Structure 1
Amino acid sequence: MISALTIARALQLPPPTPQQQAVIEAPLSPSIVIAGAGSGKTETMANRVVWLLANDLVAVPEVLGLTFTRKAAGELAQRVRSRIDQLAAARLTSVVFDPFDSPTIATYNSFANSIFRDNALLVGREGDSSILSEASAWQIARRLVTTSTDDRLITLDKSIDTITAAVLSLSRAMSENVVTSAEVTQMAGRFGELAELPTGSTKVTVLNAKLRDSLTAVQALPVLVDLADQFAREKIRRGFVEYSDQVALALAIAERVPRVVSEYRQRFRVVLLDEYQDTSVVQTRLLATLFADRPVMAVGDPHQSIYGWRGASAANLGTFAVDFTGDPAGALAFPLSTSWRNPLRVLDAANRLVEPLTAVSAVPVARLDPRPQAPTGTLDAFFGETVDDEARAIAGWFEAQLAQPGPGGAPRSAAMLCRSIKKIDAFTTALSERGVRFHVLGLGGLLEEPAVADLVSALRVIYYPNAESELVRLLTGARWRVGLRDVFELSRVGSWLAERDHHFAKLDPALKQRLRESVVVDEGRSLVDALDFVSDCPDGHRMLENFSPVGLERLRSAGRQLTFLRTRTGLDLPDLVNLVTQELLLDIEVAANESSYLGRASLDAFSEQIAGFVAADRTAGLGAFLSWLTEAEKRDKLSPRSEEPEPGTVQILTIHGSKGLEWDVVSVPRMVDDELPGKPQSKQGWLAFGELPYEFRGDAGQLPMLPWRASVSQAEFAKAKDAYNSEIVERYAEEQRRLVYVAVTRARESLLLSGSFWSTQLKPRRAGLFLRELAEHGLVAPDALPDEPENTENPLADSVMLVPWPLEPLGSRGERVAAAAQAVLTADPGAETPWSADIELLLAERAEALAGEKPVIPTRVAASRFKDYVTDPEAVLNRLRRPMPERPYRQTRLGTRFHSWVENRFGLVGGSEQLDVSGEFGMEMDFGTETEFGTETVFGASAESGFASADGLAASGPPAAAAGAGAGAGSGTGASGDAELERLQATFEASEWAGLQPEEVELEIHLVLGGNIVVCKIDAVFRRGTRHQIVDWKTGRAPSDAADLDEKQLQLALYRLAYARYRDVDPVDVDAVFYFVASDEVIAPARLYSEAELLALWERVAPALAG
């Protein structure tokens, strides 16, 4: 047997420690490795694989490694592949390694997904189901909520977004814990019987408040479960799965089909499970079902289990032996306790902070030991009077730390890890003042970028009438620069309007009182309404008297701009956002501002967020997007980040997001009472709205339990609930301790822990428990944590910052930019300069180059554009020479929506596959798209010669209504567009096609014709007896004359030829027709061009196209 030490020497690797060697050479049986933070678990796992291979205990393809993130999976895969290559080159063993063999290294979800996709039909699902993104899931769930007719929703007294979030959370929790809706509903019914319990006292006759609140939460479960079931059915109907579905469905397959289990057990003889403490109950069940009693090695650290909010269970490490062997003592246990990351002082702090957790851990956790010759490092602490003092101290610390070069002289990496990034303005301001480069990671950071913040503010203002703070941001910003006095006057106008009706008459006093008592936000004062009033109000109105002339002009400009944007909210969401960006000149702003190094990138990243949101439904509205944005930001802050450290830049992120990352220098701010450690937002646990009862969770044994079934009176229930709430608080305190341990162990060299007495609260907050513990044990300087604040009241409450307002948009560069602009305006354009001759030469060279340019004819041509090439090649050349954007015609939009509806109606998803019928692939981009130049909008009445109707008679029928070719971009998507779409849908439902099932829908075929590729996008293909029938849906008017008919049949002829090649059938056995839905006309060509005729047409115009 070749030892791990021998392998390390042969591969010229550092020798493993005794602990690492024990893990590497562990027997082939279930085992668990407790690997502390920075203990080299990835390297150890890779070396175990090498040891197994070198000793011929396993073949390369028989190794399975699973971890949580794609980043971690990529690192592990690269490490293992590199070690295998080194082993093969060292010729240490006689085993021959196939260079094309690779172990399977994947994320837990992708592994489950592979099981599901390969075996989906066994559980009645489709293996090619698409992954449902967070944005799309929110959109679908929200639509189910808003369209629900269930009267029980009214009794919930919750907002649409709150209910949507609860439906999604409950749906995923039920999936992750393999719970049926019937079980939850039945439990809720039994819990409701507690209302009948006696009060427990003859003096009390009303329902106990604690029981009442609990009943309110639990009685919401039945309607939420019903919506969760609808959400699950909708996902199936639309061919979607979520990540939680993948694992649950894979488990169902494994439990129902023993053959699948047998196949995976034979395929993988060794399994490595990384970050096992973060696995969920359903993931554990799946893995145990597949690999119980097999050589499974689980690696994890219970002290780093911080993702309980997403279903992870810290108890998994403690139950590993039972889960995989059935015996509590059936698994071997190994420690990895040498920290290869942290310096001595940081390590001492980390060990101290987790001592209470180690004492109660379900598995033995060794104290972290320093690596040989570990540096001392630095552990600094600061506790200031105010949060501004704290922010300045952190900024100064980072400035000093980043001024020192890192290893090899490279810039050092840095991070500020926050429990929450809601209130980081003081810190980012201080960093900016010091000139320290920083980057707020994640969606929250993206929304903090000035350009994106302005964009989102504008979107909120044009949608919400109460978006007052967002409106003030826009008005006082660089675009309009409205002064504070005029903003105050605008507020006064809003108050004046709030007391008047739509005729500006004063409201009845009783009605005003009811409005004051209303909790509906839309019924109070609105600055947005005030701005609309000021924009339209005639000069001389008494409510305009106190505005400054410049301020009034700017307010009216802003009002007109925002009113215009409000009229465009019917646009597709991406189009609307692009319009707002351009109208607010944000694209120009980020291009012109050299200090905004993330400006353009931030706008692009925001566009990606929008694209992801509308992926499931292009008709998604602005309101749904803004609601999702709030929820997505909340979830994003708690998710691990994939961004690599940026040397020389302070990355700002949450502690949850820092898991798996490390930096040279790290700061952890706001380590004060009620922040870090913080208090739970709720002590209710599963008695909160929309939560799955703990008794249904797979780790119920490790969760606080409420013995509600044993309660014989309301008073006894209230007493039990108090004890339960106390357990919730204790459990949360443990989670906070794990959180700070993760934060502290991210530092490779230097660590700063800080806090301050005063922030925004009314009472001072002393140093948090974790800071105090470190001070008590001498790990931070005792004088770093003052006992009492200098002020008895918050000094920030009365602090006043005097600044000129509005601010100069160009800052300190204002005078220089103005001088440069003036110099340009006054310059003599004809004056000779030292560069005049060079400029003339360059201009002449450009003119010569432009004159000789010839447009490049695309290799790929859309079938719908083929007629343009063969009928007017000169016009095509002109468009190629000077491409111009096409007007978004109303009928084109309507046609797109109708085609999407037909596709969804038939339940087939097309367009995902491009079929090349010749085996050749074009390498150039399409010129244009399948959308025609408004051709469907200009056709006249019914068809005449050259075509016959579907039954062989001349086509007839009433002419379609005018198509409205001049409609604007927003048409076809508003109320009138919806009505037109409904009429088309009704006509289609009464047509012959409604009762047929197509063979293909939205099929894209690449047809090679004369050296070019014609892209044919076929709407639908039906089997009619022994023949294939291609149908092209048209939502505009039917062709008006014979020439038009002849041109149109070119498209059908190409479709017929492409489909015949695709199916390998004779083109004469393929029919092709148009169905003009608006007029309910089926028009079939009497003849279609043959392949020879099509080729002849193309070759005839080829010389003209060649220029």
Structure 2
Amino acid sequence: MSRNWTGGFSDQEAEALPAKSELPRAEINAAIASQFLSNVKLIEQQNIRKERNFKTAGESMSYSSLPFGVKKSANIEAPFLEHDQQKTLQSVLTPKEQTFFSELEHKTIFLNSNQMEAVRHTEGPLLTIAGAGSGKTSVLTTRTAYLIGVKEIDPSQILLITFTKKAAEEMKQRIASLPGISSGEAKQITAGTFHSFFLRMLRNLKITDRILSSEKYKQIIIKNILRQSQLSPKKQYFPEVLLSLISSYKLQMIKPEDLSEDAADKDIQHIYEKYEAWKRQNGYMDFDDILLKSYELLLSSPNLLKMLQQRFTYVMADEFQDTNPIQYELLKLIASPQNNLFAVGDDDQVIYSFNGADSEIILDFHKDFPNTRVIKLDTNYRSTSPIVGFGNHIIKHNSQRHSKTMKAVRRSRMEPQFYRPSNTEEEAETIVNRLKDKPDTRSWSDYAILFRTHSNARAMFEQLIIHNLPFTANNMKQVFYDQTIIKGLIDHLRLVMNPGDLDATATILPSLYINQEAGMRYIEMENFVDPLPFPLLHLTTWNTLKDFQKGKVKKRVDLLQQATGLSPVEAIRSLRKEYENHLDTGTIENATVHKTTVKEMLDELEFSAQRFHAIPDFLAFVDEIVNKFYEKKEQDSSEDQINLMSIHQAKGLEFPVVFLIGASEGILPHVSALNAMQDKEVVLKDKTSLEKASMEEERRLCYVGVTRAKDELYISSPAFHLGKNAPVSRFLLQAFGTTFYNKDNSQRTEAWICMNKTCNGWMKIDVGNNFTEKQICAICGFEMQKGKKNL
């Protein structure tokens, strides 16, 4: 709930205001709200019909086995695991091993030859590349049982690092149920996240700093530092962005004094130092400090490090692809000198670079551990063969990866289905209609709707609300209209309708470079003595403000007054430029949250608003959607609900039926990656560039989304996104061997490129040769590598 600012108009004063101020804030009754919601479908259908004109008369509006733009089918089905060499492996097993694996099978745990090899590897470093659905959890748990039951390793010597507390608990439960393992032995295993393990170590060393876990509290600390630092008011440093940046530095072990001395970094250096000083003085540490303090302690305390190394002689790391630099350094410290480090992960699922995950860690593991053994788990037990094959043909176009082709064990005639709706509104409505006709054999929880960004999910969320379908919103922290950037512009619309709305006035003050708390105190005090139709105008007499700030207040009030009588989308466009200026201020925000993300969110707001003719109608709809969202958050969650979540949140999960929405250029791949690639010729003759890394992560996101599906996969590619043409995602076209065309109509295709600098030889990669790992140039005989070629 927003703060209720004191002050405002009396009843008599309100009656004397102009007509434009008489409209109340959009706290509408249920009957009116229901009417707004029922009208939305009609408005959406009208907009859909307008945009459908781009379609040809014969173009189908239904799902198809080929993406729009693919003219002929290609065999993309995954190869099958016809037979396994497990029986051959049985001949080299010791009697004790044979008993162990036989007892596993009695518990219906059947390991293939690669899984069994990974379980049996105990000495020295092992990198297990575990593809999607390949049973990595079974390998981790059975290897732990193998160490204890077959190798007779003391369970207290085993350290199992997971990335969630839930995963650690589930693994210990599964280990306790395996043959030869008692519940007491399972309890002796140390299993947990990096943070839980190293926090326990710090507590044992009598480090009693309290954990600063509240993001809101941390933002208050940063706000106080900014206020005391007296930085230029034209530099809008956002607390959440600064905290993200400081966290990024810590994960890379960068201290304040390590930052460069340019002007931007000097500000950040000052804020970083003050933040760290505040925590020291008040006896706090944040989550990043847990790892950083532990790392520094182990480097400075050889005896402590040696004690840990002797205690944990066998170290296992799950989800290794998500490891960040400081976590990796901690793993290396504890695992040495024996280096019995068992790392399990999939380089094709590195999608958390924004949280510090570095794909080079898993790709270059063998460089840090020269005697590394690599085992690939390349059989997918989760998905049907068409889904596995489609995933293979998506991810094979990435060059920075451990080469593997996933095999399938589940046959099906149900191919992935593709749909080309006009826009995101039609996309959402089509999916909802299919869900409403779900067969009785399916539960609601069998379905997952996956999206790239929360902005992209706005229409889908609203359709589920409008049609009253059961779905979980637990993974969504905020509804679209309540996000800070969007809420600021929405509250401008509230002031157009009701200039006396002090809650909305408080929200927009940051966009005027005015401290919210101090500004509202002055407005409330002045308005109590001398009420104005537009309380915001009181700021023009506040001596604390500089002239440029007072000028911005006057200009903003003028814009708000001019927006009276405009449609919602017209009002947003008239206010947006001035509002957006403050979001573009400050180099740090631009470095962390790309401008295109802000633009995308505001574009989505415009697209949503164009369905309504009057601002009060739009505000009423927004309030109803927001209220419905928080009602869902407060309700007891039923297990039988549709899963609406981002691809990032879905990683590690699986669902019988998956709808992957927004598979269009600008959404997936995201516009930020496209901007990075624009006008760049990326060829793998040099180290992978930032631009290429960005696009490869987008492709990994697409791969993760596809491989969540077990039985059925539906992919939709809106033809228009935010009012602009959006081609079908290149990831879909390239998977079917279709060349993707750039905006200039040049073909940009996957190709083998000769590494001889004096040779221009290249060869297009097509469906027939794309799984070949080596090629020799037919012109000069040099080795070729995979890359991109503009034709």
User: What TM-score do you get using the length of structure 2 for normalisation?
Assistant: 0.62
Residue type at the aligned position of 1:672: S
Aligned-pair CA distance for 1:398: 2.8
Please state if 1:58 is matched with 2:58. Answer: no
Q: Taking structure 1 as reference, are residues 378 and 411 closer, same or farther at Cα in structure 2, changes over 3 Å only? A: farther
What SS is found at the alignment partner of 1:340? Answer: strand
State how far apart, in whole Å, the 1-side matches of 2:661 and 2:716 are: 5
Residue type at the aligned position of 1:80: I
Please state if 1:15 is matched with 2:110. Answer: yes
State how far apart, in whole Å, the 1-side matches of 2:379 and 2:419 are: 29
Q: What's 1:133 paired with? A: 214
Match of 2:426 among 389, 396, 409: 389
1:284-683 superposed matches below 5 A: 284-292=328-336, 293-323=338-368, 325=369, 327=370, 330-357=371-398, 359-361=399-401, 364-371=402-409, 373-400=410-437, 402-406=438-442, 412-432=445-465, 434-445=467-478, 462-465=502-505, 518=552, 522-526=556-560, 600=631, 602=633, 648-680=640-672
Q: What's 2:36 paired with? A: none
Residue type at the aligned position of 2:716: S
Q: What's 2:708 paired with? A: 746
Q: What's 1:173 paired with? A: 248
What SS is found at the alignment partner of 2:397? Answer: helix
1:848-859 superposed matches below 5 A: none
Please state if 1:184 is matched with 2:259. Answer: yes
Aligned-pair CA distance for 1:308: 0.7
Q: What's 1:158 paired with? A: 235
State how far apart, in whole Å, the 1-side matches of 2:722 and 2:629 are: 30
State how far apart, in whole Å, the 2-side matches of 1:296 and 1:72 are: 19
Could you tell me whether the CA contact under 8 Å between 2:144 and 2:175 is conserved in 1? yes
Aligned-pair CA distance for 1:498: 7.3
Could you tell me whether the CA contact under 8 Å between 1:440 and 1:446 is conserved in 2? no
State how far apart, in whole Å, the 1-side matches of 2:384 and 2:96 are: 30
Aligned-pair CA distance for 1:740: 0.7
Please state if 1:45 is matched with 2:120. Answer: no
Deviation track 1:582-618 (CA, whole Å, cap 9, x = no partner) reads xxxxxxxxxxx9x99976563589xxxxxxxxxxxxx
Q: Which structure's CA Rg is the greater one?
A: 1
Q: What's 1:281 paired with? A: 325
Could you tell me whether the CA contact under 8 Å between 2:456 and 2:662 is conserved in 1? no
Q: Taking structure 1 as reference, are residues 300 and 2 closer, same or farther at Cα in structure 2, changes over 3 Å only? A: farther
What SS is found at the alignment partner of 1:341? Answer: strand
Please state if 1:773 is matched with 2:734. Answer: yes
Aligned-pair CA distance for 1:527: 7.4
Q: What's 1:29 paired with? A: 124
State how far apart, in whole Å, the 2-side matches of 1:142 and 1:167 are: 10
Could you tell me whether the CA contact under 8 Å between 1:465 and 1:522 is conserved in 2? no
Q: Taking structure 1 as reference, are residues 177 and 397 closer, same or farther at Cα in structure 2, changes over 3 Å only? A: same
Aligned-pair CA distance for 1:232: 0.7
State how far apart, in whole Å, the 1-side matches of 2:539 and 2:267 are: 43
Q: Taking structure 1 as reference, are residues 499 and 302 closer, same or farther at Cα in structure 2, changes over 3 Å only? A: closer
Could you tell me whether the CA contact under 8 Å between 1:175 and 1:244 is conserved in 2? yes
Match of 2:200 among 106, 109, 114: 114
Count how many residue pairs are aligned between Structure 1 and Structure 2. 547
Deviation track 1:348-384 (CA, whole Å, cap 9, x = no partner) reads 1110111022x432xx33211112x444544111002
Match of 1:227 among 255, 259, 271: 271
State how far apart, in whole Å, the 1-side matches of 2:539 and 2:170 are: 68
1:853-868 superposed matches below 5 A: none
Aligned-pair CA distance for 1:310: 1.3
Residue type at the aligned position of 1:766: P
Could you tell me whether the CA contact under 8 Å between 1:515 and 1:524 is conserved in 2? no
Deviation track 1:685-719 (CA, whole Å, cap 9, x = no partner) reads 9xxxxxxxxxxxxxxxxxxxxxxxxxxxxxxxx99
Q: Taking structure 1 as reference, are residues 309 and 100 closer, same or farther at Cα in structure 2, changes over 3 Å only? A: closer
User: What TM-score do you get using the length of structure 1 for normalisation?
Assistant: 0.45
Q: What's 2:596 paired with? A: none
Q: Which runs of 5+ in 1 are unaligned?
A: 90-96, 121-125, 189-217, 469-495, 505-512, 531-592, 606-642, 686-717, 788-1107
Deviation track 1:614-635 (CA, whole Å, cap 9, x = no partner) reads xxxxxxxxxxxxxxxxxxxxxx
Q: Taking structure 1 as reference, are residues 261 and 224 closer, same or farther at Cα in structure 2, changes over 3 Å only? A: same
What SS is found at the alignment partner of 1:748? Answer: strand
Aligned-pair CA distance for 1:110: 1.3
Aligned-pair CA distance for 1:514: 9.1
State how far apart, in whole Å, the 1-side matches of 2:490 and 2:476 are: 15
Q: Taking structure 1 as reference, are residues 273 and 256 closer, same or farther at Cα in structure 2, changes over 3 Å only? A: same
Match of 1:147 among 228, 243, 247: 228
Residue type at the aligned position of 2:420: F
Please state if 1:758 is matched with 2:720. Answer: yes
Aligned-pair CA distance for 1:670: 1.2
Aligned-pair CA distance for 1:418: 0.8
State how far apart, in whole Å, the 2-side matches of 1:503 and 1:61 are: 66
Q: Which runs of 5+ in 2 are unaligned?
A: 1-93, 495-500, 509-531, 541-546, 565-623, 746-791
Could you tell me whether the CA contact under 8 Å between 2:225 and 2:271 is conserved in 1? yes
What SS is found at the alignment partner of 1:749? Answer: strand
State how far apart, in whole Å, the 1-side matches of 2:536 and 2:193 are: 61
Could you tell me whether the CA contact under 8 Å between 1:439 and 1:445 is conserved in 2? no
Higher relative contact order (CA 8 A, sep 6+): 2
State how far apart, in whole Å, the 2-side matches of 1:681 and 1:147 are: 37
Aligned-pair CA distance for 1:339: 1.0
Q: What's 1:571 paired with? A: none
Q: Taking structure 1 as reference, are residues 391 and 724 closer, same or farther at Cα in structure 2, changes over 3 Å only? A: farther
Q: What's 1:1058 paired with? A: none
Aligned-pair CA distance for 1:412: 4.6
Residue type at the aligned position of 1:405: T
Q: Taking structure 1 as reference, are residues 521 and 134 closer, same or farther at Cα in structure 2, changes over 3 Å only? A: farther
Residue type at the aligned position of 1:154: S
What SS is found at the alignment partner of 2:383? Answer: coil
RMSD: 4.4
Q: Taking structure 1 as reference, are residues 2 and 366 closer, same or farther at Cα in structure 2, changes over 3 Å only? A: farther
